[in-house]
Structure 1
Amino acid sequence: MQNRAAIVRKTGGPERIEVVDVPMPMPGPGEVLVAVEATGIAFADVVMRMGVYPGVTVPFTPGYEVVGRVIGGEGFAEGTRIAALTVTGGAARFAVVRAADCVAVPGGVSSAQAAALVLNGLTAFQMLTRCVAQPSVEKMLVWGAAGGVGSILLALGRHFGIDTYGVASGSRRDFVRDHGATPIDRGGDVAAQVRAASGGGVDAVFDGVGGPNVRISEAALRDGGALVMFGFQGALGGSERLNPLRAAKAMLTSPRRSAQAQFMTGKGLRGYLITQWQTAHPNFYRDDLAEVLRLAAEARIVPAIAAELPLDRIADGHRMIGAGTAQGKIVICPQQ
């Protein structure tokens, strides 16, 4: 068998991604060898390619998750279809994965759908059920509602019976409406629109934009509500290149609220990083990923797939992420 993988040897734009023949990986103790059927492209992959993702240096193979069939190693029978969070290494025909990170994929879920549910689905599920008290959330606001994480939050909101508002622009507002949520025009006064539509504010806001945008999110909260930050996509600035000034602004202008202010309003602010949760709570990671996949198998949530591309077109997928045009998850299918 011949392996083929995407490799970033130099940081920069999508043109830096090479797809080349590479040696077959060999699993070690506690690892499985997987024939990769699907991996996704996320904003995190773009940030890695640009050279500003903590802990990832060139050369590396992108691919934050792996979905495929076990063909060797320990812990799973050969032929078992698994999903795993890998951070890197997924964009290859074959990959080695820690068995402890793998969760079996149930029937009724395609490999492309499963890929949309690892990084994005697990992020959405844990933010809604672990970072906030989900049973107390009657109304919520989702930024980037047509994106990978946002679209899963819309689906979870529908599943849990939450009145959901999704921030979007242009045709993406139709996507939000079609997925059972109330569209909020990103070009207008978002906080005012949300407070008017919700009757005074929402119980939870999920913000992957960051920076000064957080103040808008806080203004959309009712007293006692919770804001969960999970990224700083505003630093991309609508292009394929990370804007250093935007990145600095996103970090430096995020509001710093005093303990007294939080006490007086009851508004909470929390950050979410999936890798921190995976390390600190490995049982949550496995249980929650299994639950997300179960919900998909029962068609209680249906992940939106923006595109399924062969491995040789991974650079095109990165361009779609950089342009901000994708509605749902972009999936790479290395076996095609």
Structure 2
Amino acid sequence: MKGISYRRYGGPEVLEYGEVRDPKVGPDQVLVKVRAAAVNPVDWKCREGRLDAVLDAVFPVVPGWDVSGVVVRPGVSVTEFAPGDEVIGYCREDFLSRGTFAEYVAAPVRTLARKPRNLSFEQAAGLPLAGLTAYQVLVKALNLKRGETVLVHAAAGGVGSLAVQIAAHLGARVIGTASERNHAHVRGLGGEPVTYGEGLGERVRRLAPEGVDAVFDTVGGDTLRTSVGLLAPKGRLASIADPEVLGHGGRYCFVRPDAEDLTRLTELVEQGAVSVPVQETFPLERTADAHRLSQEGRTRGKIVVTVDPGGEGS
């Protein structure tokens, strides 16, 4: 089958398009015909070897954890899905090797849920990792409640754009940092935009003089440190970007596959509470260009790679 792989850590140039090994389908796995796969920052961080301390790489590595596609064959112990079912998944395993940037992926059943009926395959591919990250931080780590105020950093990005919508659906007031060009976009998602950079603390204080109840940090560094001083008494802080948050009494979060949470996200999408903004799509053979765009760090919504866009061969 055709796919993307890399044989060593490095920059986008190590990504190769060509033949990759066909996946074996274990008892608890589902063979999925890939229609689209989303690019996330963790993909290029893995490619550069930044997660080598926690994830073994079995080369050649097929990258990618996000997928939308059609079930071809469930494993012998799988009863949740049948051939022809349209699914999405955050197909992370505890090693790097069998990713989603290929024509087929053998996805652990624990990582899959039904695809939202009202999304294209391209949009649906952008939901799992970013959506689960946003949902698990807001609901489980921050325990965000109706009527509270939450500050979401990088509110126009892949995770941030979904976090704004989920927080608004929960009944929270959402303040979101974004560049000036993305302010209208953040408003459209249900947030109150504020420009990031120097003077951020003062701008947020003008909007929330008593402080914010929760901060969802996706940036780290100075942004995280500024956020500490913006918390109301008993305010909560969570970061997906910087373990320094632990020293400030906050939570350091890493998203985990969860079929129940992913099903809840599907429900929110079908209810119209959450949409998945897609900035740009690339064909599979241009995955390296998709990685380069992601690394620029100025995306609005998701970057998606189409693998079998018209359903040929499914």
> Which one of 162, 181, 187 corresponds to residue 177 of structure 1?
187
Q: Does 1:85 pair with 2:75? A: no
The letter of the residue matching 2:8 is K
Q: How far apart are the structure 2 equivalents of 1:136 and 1:225?
A: 14
Contact 1:215 1:255 (C-alpha < 8 Å) held by counterparts: no
Q: How far apart are residue 202 of structure 1 and its match?
A: 0.9
Q: How far apart are the structure 2 equivalents of 1:36 and 1:125?
A: 24
Q: SS of the residue aligned with 1:135?
A: coil
Summarize the Cα distance change of 1:325–1:314 in structure 2 as closer, same or farther, 3 Å threshold: same
The answer for unaligned runs of 5 or more in structure 2 is 310-314
Q: How far apart are residue 99 of structure 1 and its match?
A: 1.9
Summarize the Cα distance change of 1:177–1:106 in structure 2 as closer, same or farther, 3 Å threshold: closer
The letter of the residue matching 1:305 is V
> Which one of 121, 130, 137 corresponds to residue 131 of structure 2?
121
Moved over 6 A (4+): none
For residue 9 of structure 1, what is the aligned residue in structure 2?
A: 7
For residue 62 of structure 2, what is the aligned residue in structure 1?
A: 61
For residue 46 of structure 2, what is the aligned residue in structure 1?
A: 48
Contact 2:38 2:126 (C-alpha < 8 Å) held by counterparts: yes
Summarize the Cα distance change of 1:106–1:176 in structure 2 as closer, same or farther, 3 Å threshold: closer
Structure holding more helix per residue: 1
For residue 297 of structure 1, what is the aligned residue in structure 2?
A: 270
For residue 133 of structure 1, what is the aligned residue in structure 2?
A: 143
For residue 24 of structure 2, what is the aligned residue in structure 1?
A: 26
Summarize the Cα distance change of 1:255–1:211 in structure 2 as closer, same or farther, 3 Å threshold: farther
Q: Structure 2 matches for 1:137-152, cutoff 5 A? A: 138-152=148-162
Q: How far apart are residue 141 of structure 1 and its match?
A: 0.7
Post-superposition Cα deviations, 1:63-105, rounded to whole Å, max 9, x if no partner, equal 1122111111332210011122123501111111112322122
Q: Structure 2 matches for 1:199-210, cutoff 5 A? A: 199-210=209-220
Q: Structure 2 matches for 1:214-225, cutoff 5 A? A: 214-225=224-235
TM-score normalised per structure 2 = 0.89
Superposition CA RMSD, Å? 1.8
Q: How far apart are residue 155 of structure 1 and its match?
A: 1.2
The letter of the residue matching 1:96 is A
Q: How far apart are residue 56 of structure 1 and its match?
A: 4.3
Q: SS of the residue aligned with 2:9?
A: coil
For residue 38 of structure 1, what is the aligned residue in structure 2?
A: 36
Q: How far apart are the structure 1 equivalents of 2:12 and 2:5?
A: 11
Q: How far apart are residue 211 of structure 1 and its match?
A: 2.9
TM-score normalised per structure 1 = 0.83
Give the aligned length. Answer: 297
Q: How far apart are the structure 2 equivalents of 1:219 and 1:139?
A: 15
Q: How far apart are the structure 2 equivalents of 1:15 and 1:147?
A: 25
Q: Could you tell me the percent identity over the aligned residues? A: 32
The answer for unaligned runs of 5 or more in structure 1 is 233-250, 258-267, 279-284
Q: How far apart are residue 121 of structure 1 and its match?
A: 0.3
Q: How far apart are the structure 1 equivalents of 2:60 and 2:219?
A: 28
Q: How far apart are residue 256 of structure 1 and its match?
A: 2.3
Q: How far apart are residue 31 of structure 1 and its match?
A: 1.5
Q: SS of the residue aligned with 1:274?
A: coil
Contact 1:212 1:255 (C-alpha < 8 Å) held by counterparts: no
